[in-house]
Amino acid sequence: MAFELPPLPFAKDALESKGMSAETLEYHHGKHHKAYVDNLNGLIAGTENENKSLEEIIKAAPEGGLFNNSAQVWNHTFFWNCLSPTGGGAPSGDLAEKLSSAFGSVDAFRAEFTDAAKTQFGSGWAWLGHDGSKLQVMKTPNADNPVNHEVKALLTLDVWEHAYYIDFRNARPGFIDNFFDQLVNWEFVEQNLNEV
């Protein structure tokens, strides 16, 4: 069974006024994400992985092409859902309470997540996850993700350069701030947390 490039959960130009251009999404979703899907399908065709889920492939794959492409398909599919045309700002209600309980305050959570995203050397991801007992911020290099560490992903930010270079050039900190101020989909985070 071949994997398909999932559609974006919003129109390609829906984030234009929020600091993420249609051009960025054309390249990031239409080329980078699509290439991972195409590469993965090429790698699993005719193998024992052909009918496995992405999660099964990620957990069993050794380092290399199969892991990198399957994890990047999963990571990007998850990332698009972390963005919303009506997103940004601070979370509220139960989610805000849980973040405050785990990190001291919502602002402290944002600072820790921002630090993880800023200090991920080279390409990678910043995550909010739940390890079965507590909330945690983590960062992963390249394609690595919480699935590979038995952690439930709640939120992610892609800090590969292709995620921000068209709109922010080399200013990763500005991209991170814009993510929190304009884009983050707290409803999706809360939905993931309710599944823990």
Q: Does pLDDT of 105 surpass 90?
A: yes
Half-sphere CA count of 195, side-chain side, radius 13 A: 11
Mean pLDDT score, 70-75: 98
Phi and psi, residue 139, nearest 5°: -130, 145
Over the stretch 38-49, which tens digit does the pLDDT of each residue have? 999 999 999 999
CATH class of 20-196: alpha beta
pLDDT score of 93: 96
Mean pLDDT score, 86-111: 98
Q: Does pLDDT of 1 surpass 90?
A: no
Show the beta-strand stretches assigned E in the chain: 124-130, 135-141, 152-158
Instruction: Report the chain's mean pLDDT, rounded to a whole number.
Output: 98
pLDDT score of 157: 99
Q: Sign of the CA dihedral 87, 33, 56, 62?
A: negative
Locus of tokens 């139960």: 94
Mean pLDDT score, 36-62: 97
Over the stretch 174-190, which tens digit does the pLDDT of each residue have? 999 999 999 999 999 99
pLDDT score of 140: 98
Over the stretch 152-173, which tens digit does the pLDDT of each residue have? 999 999 999 999 999 999 999 9
- What tokens appear for 35 in the block? 């290439």
Mean pLDDT score, 2-31: 98
Residue extents of the structural domains in the chain? 20-196
Mean pLDDT score, 5-29: 98
- pTM given for the model: 0.98
Mean pLDDT score, 43-56: 97
